[in-house]
Amino acid sequence: MKHAHVVITALLAWSAPAFGRAKDRPRIAVIGSGIGGSSAAFFLRQELGVQAVIDVYEAEPQAGGRLLEFTYLNSTYEAGGSIIYSGNRYMSDLATSMGLTKVEPPKTLWRYGMSLFWLKRTVAKALDKFLTIYALQNEGFTFATPAELWSKIGLNDYVNMTIADHLWSAVGEHTLLERELVYAVNRVNYNQDNDLNALAGLISLVTLVGGDLFKIKEGNAKVAQKLLGVAGARLHFEVTVTGVASTDTQQYKLLAGNESLGEYDAVLIAAPLELAGIAFNIDGATDPPAPQHPFQTTHATFVRGRLRSEYFSVEEGKGMPQTVLLTEDGQGEVFSSIALYERLEDGDGVYKLFSRKPLHTGLLDGLFGAGAWRTLFHRRWSAYPKLQPQHSAAAPPVILYAGHGIFYVNALEATVSAMEVLVIAARNAALLARQWLAADADGADASAAAPSLATEASSSSGGSSGSGSGGGGAVPSLDVQRAPPGGGSDTGADVVMGAADVLVEL
Ligand SMILES: Cc1cc2nc3c(=O)[nH]c(=O)nc-3n(C[C@H](O)[C@H](O)[C@H](O)COP(=O)(O)OP(=O)(O)OC[C@H]3O[C@@H](n4cnc5c(N)ncnc54)[C@H](O)[C@@H]3O)c2cc1C
């Protein structure tokens, strides 16, 4: 799958599967146009063919959601989801196929001896298990709850214990590495301490086992925007969906206040229910448990200036670190990290700061010198759910209502919040929607007679063909045989800092 036109050819050549429930022209609504919603639209088109009507509703004026860039002096900076691991094959292949440019962020250096060796081993072990997702999805595997997925690929233990407990069992002691590196990376990535679940914690460290990081030169949100175009979805921007209600005709009505937006055979929810403000009215069905994963606030602030060495107790002329992360000892600090993103011609730097609260003038004066800095961009994010182990807060189901066609993409985000994970979740939701639509109103599978994908399209998609979960013909698939999870670390760090100490890279 090397070029966008190859994908489009594959999509258009795909003959129509049979839809027991929705007859010949299914109507599907996707709520949200972040990477989850946009890739869901893409996979829906793959699964359902050209005759399906796919409507995407987005509250904001543009697609991308938590992927958002800003431009300063001709450079593009990511204020939300930034870094993609080269092994994230969905994100990597989709970006390439959309004709986007991958560029490399700075590399990371650490200094933790044997502990690092053990950490690498445990990351690699989790990664190997995670990699099996891609082959399973190519074969049409679906999961109705996140727990089903983790159990299928052997990651149950990881999602049910904290990263701190996992490292204790893997390394045997609470090491400097755990207190500094793991704490710092997870604080930057998830604004959470070492009580998050072990899978999310290890995914943050995935680059330890090799592979590069990249971001999209044109802006990561372009992946979402291009996917929507290729999917041929009808886009409805600045429309906030407030309700989903079942109808007498076994469809779902979408509402914006009192206004009906339309009736659909299936609905994919690609926004966190904790934030989306959607009320459900599904006749005769039991509501799923209320969302239990409160979102963490993170402020991303870009500042132009020069860091003062005195603030970090670095001797004048010894060279300032490019990146500073707070360790466990630095919890009193207002910011979680500072990273130099670009050195400008006059010697000023463009720095990205993450913090739990807005940065105040006194702090910025201390960091950069009184009045010697300028805020270029600031965004307050409801960034990620609290990624607890599942035993303390079960993830919500993907099939929100048993026996109904409402699929929750962001259910998987309760365990790990990263672009690649949302694309995996989107593909799962599209496969489930196909199964749902293929069944007739009594639940029997009506897709047995579905015509199969034209051979030419199958080979031009460049991927292996898996059988659709609806039992129909071959489904055009991405070439995603082996790929690691997660977004990699957003740190690119070379120094880890406690409140009073500075550790210099080796
Ligand atoms: C600061 C920050 C840094 C990050 N760094 C990384 C990283 O380096 N690597 C990585 O892989 N991941 C990273 N992430 C996580 C990653 O960005 C997210 O996991 C991912 O983008 C979520 O995508 P999504 O489509 O599920 O949700 P969103 O991007 O939140 O999209 C949901 C969309 O739904 C819309 N919406 C919500 N409610 C409604 C409604 N009722 N009606 C209509 N529309 C609605 C919203 O406006 C939004 O556009 C980071 C996130 C943040 C905030």
Alpha-carbon gap, residue 25 to 295, rounded angstroms: 38
E strand spans, 345-441 = 349-355, 374-385, 406-408
Whether ipTM > 0.95 holds is yes
Indicate which atom in ligand 1 lies nearest the CA of residue 298.
Answer: 1
> What pLDDT, on the 0 to 100 scale, is given for residue 91?
95
- Find the 382 Cα to ligand 1 centroid distance in Å: 9
Low-confidence residues of the chain: pLDDT under 70: 1-17, 22, 105-119, 171-189, 191, 193-194, 207-211, 312-333, 441-506
Indicate which atom in ligand 1 lies nearest the CA of residue 36.
Answer: 25
User: Which amino acid type is present at position 494?
Assistant: D
Q: Which helix (H) or strand (E) holds 337?
A: strand 335-343
* Residue whose CA lies nearest to ligand 1 atom number 34: 32
CA 169 vs CA 183, 187, 195, 275: distances in Å: 17, 21, 14, 36
**Token code pair at residue 97:** 């196929």
Find the angle CA(297)-CA(31)-CA(201) to the nearest 5 degrees. Answer: 40
Alpha-carbon gap, residue 27 to 55, rounded angstroms: 8
Sign of the C-alpha dihedral computed for residues 13, 235, 296 and 388 taken in this order: negative
Indicate which atom in ligand 1 lies nearest the CA of residue 63.
Answer: 49
Residue 477 near residue 454, CB atoms below 8 Å: no
Alpha-carbon gap, residue 177 to 154, rounded angstroms: 26
4-102+216-293+390-475: what fold?
FAD/NAD(P)-binding domain (3.50.50)
> What pLDDT, on the 0 to 100 scale, is given for residue 355?
87
Query: Is residue 59 within 6 Å of ligand 1 at its C-beta?
Result: yes
- Find the 124 Cα to ligand 1 centroid distance in Å: 27
Indicate which atom in ligand 1 lies nearest the CA of residue 277.
Answer: 41
Query: Is residue 184 within 6 Å of ligand 1 at its C-beta?
Result: no
Residue 26 near residue 437, CB atoms below 8 Å: yes
Predicted confidence (pLDDT) per residue in 349-405, tens digit: 999 888 888 999 998 998 899 999 999 999 999 999 988 888 777 889 999 999 999
User: Which amino acid type is present at position 325?
Assistant: L
The length of the chain is 506
**Ranges of each domain in the chain:** 4-102+216-293+390-475, 295-385+492-497
Query: Is residue 387 within 6 Å of ligand 1 at its C-beta?
Result: no
Please, what's the b/e burial string for 243-282 (b: 16 or more CB within 10 A of its CB; e: otherwise)? bbbbeeeebbbbbeeeeebbebbbbbbbbbbbebebebeb
User: Who's near 10: CB < 8 A, 6+ residues apart?
Assistant: 46, 453, 457, 458, 460, 461, 476
- Find the 182 Cα to ligand 1 centroid distance in Å: 24
Predicted confidence (pLDDT) per residue in 302-324, tens digit: 999 998 877 766 565 555 555 55
324: left (phi over 0), alpha (psi -120 to 50) or beta: beta
Q: Dihedral of the CA atoms 302, 306, 311, 317 (nearest 10)?
A: 140
**Token code pair at residue 186:** 């997870």
Query: Is residue 81 within 6 Å of ligand 1 at its C-beta?
Result: yes
> What pLDDT, on the 0 to 100 scale, is given for residue 184?
64
Indicate which atom in ligand 1 lies nearest the CA of residue 242.
Answer: 41
